[in-house]
Chains A and B, each alone.
Chain A
Amino acid sequence: MATDLLNISPQLIVLSTTVIVLCLEMARLPRAALWALVVGMLTATGVAVDMLGTDTTAFSTTFRVDALSLWAVIILGPATILFALLGRSELKDSAREGTIYSLMGFSALGAMILAGSGDLMFIVLGLLISTLAGMAMAAHPRNDPSSEGAMKYFIYGSVAGAIMLFGLTFWAGLAGTTLISGINNPDLSSYAVMFGFITLVIGIGYAASLFPVHFWTPDTFEGAPVSIAAYLSVVPKIGALFALAQVVRDLPVSLVDWPLILAVLAALSMTFGNVVALWQDNVIRLLAYSTIAQSGYYVLGVIGVGQSSLAIDSLVVFGVAYLLMNAGAFAITLGEGTRLDDFKGMGKRRPWQAVGMTIFLLSLVGMPPLAGFAGKFLLFGAAIESGYSWLAVVAILNSAISLAVYMRIVVPMFFQEAEDGQIRTYAPGTSFVWISTFVLTVVVGIGVQWFLT
């Protein structure tokens, strides 16, 4: 019992931090709540870094303490801090500002639980914690667009979650246990296992904005505050995809050809996200479709699980890279404005921010030597090694389309004259986020060795 608690200490720290943050908000101390969140998340991250290399389980193998669950803490802890700082910049002095910080903490906890799931119940629990808190955050401004977005997120979540729960009862019934490892039995009925897997993909795909359960994404992002949209684009996604990796580790290919199912979804997700993004005039919607596409790339790493030596590395490195470049792009959008026209003439007005945004977008395309390239490089490698070269080809064609998408932001920055109008200012938190992610996007791309297991 004691070792079990010790093994999940990063998650326990996150939990207690979040409770403290909630208490501070009740005392109407939003600033203190933010600082408590920062300190707690840093502590949890530090503990997780210290534990790297551990590969064990806790509580009768229901929770896995391995590279994936530890890296989830190391990625999502700092992620929560970055998005909380963005939230502070955007929502400072709004009513119930501090609730945002505690909800971010809870949602991150859900994602961390997902990433270490060894039991189907943990997947259900993690998904619920992670997305329910997200819904509350999305509704924070209490106006029509945000309520509509949050409602969509909620209804989609309820339906997807219910379907998943229904399907997972088949798995539990077949295997006689809710442990994920119970499904690792070639004698089970193939059809029932496949049914369970498809419902699982619906539930997880919803949190990860995977086609075809992505429909909430653009509307929810557009209605929510920019910092919340940024949060939702990163944290639940990483948790959900890590959970998917935990499941397929134990799923025999002889029962259900899961790599093929995931490959088809990945291809559709990438293509749909990138093609639809070509028509968006709102930067937030454009980035929303881009996250659908990026989820598609990310699935390549899951396909490699068990078949490629690069799979876990690719999931970790792309997770880090995706956090950095997405947080940076959203931060600059928060500073500049959400219409494409707001970016006109930025190269003259704010040359450094313009260069920063270009770097984030090129990193999303996968340009070396940036972080996004290192991630995609490993993802493509994992796909090829698993025998999915055709998927890698689809992915590279999509990278080319995505260049056209992201250039729609770059072109007005450098080659169009600014419109008249008031110029927005960058809050200190926003500046901190874009500068730190900018530096790290370059550093991680070159120093990728530190993230390899």
Chain B
Amino acid sequence: MDFSSLPLLSITTFLPVIGALVIMVLRPKQTKTAYGIGIVFASLTLLAAIMIWIQGIGSSLSQVEELSWIPSLGIAYRLGVDGISFPLVLLTAFLFLTSLIFSAKIKDSANIFIQLVLMLETACLGVFLSLDLFLFYVFFEITLVGMYFIIAKWGHEHRKKAALTFFIYTLIGSLFLLLAFLALYLFSDTNTFDIQQLITNPTITGLAATLTFWGLFIAFAIKTPLFPFHTWLPLAHTEAPAAGSAILAGVLLKLGTYGFIRFPLQMTPDAFREFAPYVIVIAVFTALYGAFVALAQTDIKRMVAYTSVNHMGYLIFGVAIAAVTTTTSGMIALDGAVLQMISHGVVTGVLFLLVGALQDRTGTREMNEMTGLLKTYPILSGLFMLAAFASLGLPGLAHFPAEFQIFLGGFDVYPVAVGIIIIGLPITTALYLRAIQKVFLGTLPEGFTGLKDLGSRELWAIVPLILATILIGVYPDSLLSMIHATTNFFGL
């Protein structure tokens, strides 16, 4: 089909914020109406994203939309999509829709909550679709403001501290990003913020390139996060409301990992190659650290949060492998890393929603205080186990094809590093099995009267994500073919 007359990328990006404006103007009294409007616009966004897919994702940046903005500084409104960014756009549209469905129980200032979530969705889509450093930065920063208010207003006990830590910490990161962007601009031949030009013709060299690389590294390492910049993550993920955590882990962390691929790997490739060994050491350490600390948690939400750190370690390991080698193994690792973004988004997203459902029923996140829930909540327990198995990398589920490719690609170049990082797998297996044993098996304490098993609202949010987990696990090529076309085009 041909939609080429429509600016599909702009439509996709701005549909959510239009939904927010509609809510602002209509001010629905009923929270149901408000959620209805929000869900309709989130669905339309997903539909528009699928139309982009039908239009055809090229191997290079394509479907470019451009409008003049600040010509004297080489800044323009530029959007475009390729095989790296499109899967993330799809993930974003999908995860925001399910999170919005899941959070329909939030009644406190529901209108504002929905508006913030929709604004956040526009900002996230904008980050993935921007082809201009300035525009990218604008969207990147708006995500912080949106998330700050979601955590601070609708989070759990320590929400204010968590929100402020998240805001300040990630702001430091994005300010380093700003400096790096300014350096890229000042050292480019034509003084431009155009991402396409900066990729095809990376002119920055020498010390400037080194400093820019480390500026980008710090910015994205805080966002991803990598050790030792991860300290904001457990706090923010634990204190945010369930849908907020799902979005935070599922989409917002990907802003960092996507950034690693789009900027250091493509714009300062030589510096990245030079410093890749350091990055690999950090990535390996992050993966193991995340796994071990997750093992030590008793709060189930914190545990899931730390497994994110572990998965991000694998992911950046894959990107760093791609920076070192130009052979096919680099490409395999990068394919794996991109797929890992999607897998982690879907799996961790659904895990956080399930933990939210669990907390709603038991009133606690402490694993020591929950036991024997399998009998009372068979559906919830079954789905949680499935998601947990996906997260620990069971073949046939989403994480396996991604992590397998990362390790396969890495084995060719750094077999020892792969040997070490792979220790993370048995540890995550152990911690998930222990959690399942504690929470779901055993006997229910007497007198426990919780709510019913998952209701239709929760099922509508969770089941699609579980289906996606299985689909990616069984048929990864649905996304991999698109990803591979682009990584192949990188010609690393």
Contacts and interface: CB of A to CB of B under 8 A. Distances in A.
Interface of A: 362, 365, 367-369, 373, 377, 380-381, 384-385, 389, 392-393, 396-397, 399-400, 403-404, 407, 411, 414-415, 448-449, 452
Contact of A407 (B138, B167, B211): B167
Interface in B131-158: 134, 137-138, 141-142, 144-145, 149, 152-153
Given A368-B141, A368-B142, A452-B73, A389 B211 contact: yes
Nearest to B140: A368
A250 B176 CA distance: 33
A389 B167 contact: no
Interface residues of B, number: 30
Nearest to B142: A368
Contact of A400 (B71, B134, B141, B171): B171
A276 B186 CA distance: 34
A411 B160 CA distance: 8
A17 B142 CA distance: 43
Given A399-B175, A400-B168, 20 more contacts: A362-B145, A367-B144, A368-B142, A381-B182, A381-B186, A384-B183, A393-B179, A396-B175, A396-B178, A397-B175, A399-B171, A403-B168, A404-B164, A404-B168, A407-B164, A411-B160, A411-B164, A415-B153, A415-B160, A449-B69
Contacts of A367: 141-142, 144-145
B172 interface: yes
Nearest to A385: B186
B72 interface: yes
B220 to A, nearest CB: 15
Contacts of B1: none
Given A368-B142, A415-B153, A396 B176 contact: yes
Contacts of B142: 367-369
Nearest to B175: A396
Determine the main DSSP class of A at the interface with B.
Answer: helix
A403 B160 contact: no
A384 B182 contact: yes
Nearest to B144: A367
A367 B175 CA distance: 10
B185 interface: yes
A450 to B, nearest CB: 10
A381 B72 CA distance: 14
Contacts of B138: 368-369, 373
A380 B134 CA distance: 14
Interface of B: 69-73, 134, 137-138, 141-142, 144-145, 149, 152-153, 160, 164, 167-168, 171-172, 175-176, 178-179, 182-183, 185-186, 211
B137 A368 contact: yes
Contacts of B185: 381
A397 B145 CA distance: 18
Contacts of B134: 377
B415 to A, nearest CB: 38
B171 A380 contact: no
Pick from B70, B137, B144, B167 the residue with the most CB of A within 10 Å. B70
A452 B73 CA distance: 9
Nearest to A368: B138
Nearest to B138: A368
B214 to A, nearest CB: 11
Contacts of A415: 152-153, 160
A396 B160 CA distance: 23
Contacts of A448: 70
A149 to B, nearest CB: 33
A366 to B, nearest CB: 8
B72 A396 contact: no
Contacts of B145: 362, 367
A411 B185 CA distance: 36
Nearest to A408: B164
A213 B373 CA distance: 67
Contacts of B73: 452
A399 B175 CA distance: 8
A452 B141 CA distance: 23
A396 B70 contact: no
Contacts of A368: 137-138, 141-142
A400 B179 contact: no
Given A415-B160, A449-B70, A452-B72, A380 B168 contact: no
Closest 6 CB pairs of A and B: A396-B175, A368-B138, A452-B72, A400-B172, A449-B70, A369-B138
A407 B171 CA distance: 13
A380 B137 CA distance: 14
A369 B152 CA distance: 22
A449 B67 CA distance: 13
Contacts of B153: 414-415
A410 B266 CA distance: 39
Contacts of A380: 178-179, 182
A397 B182 CA distance: 16
B308 to A, nearest CB: 24
A396 B182 contact: no
Nearest to A366: B175
Contacts of B179: 380, 384, 389, 392-393, 396
A261 B25 CA distance: 53
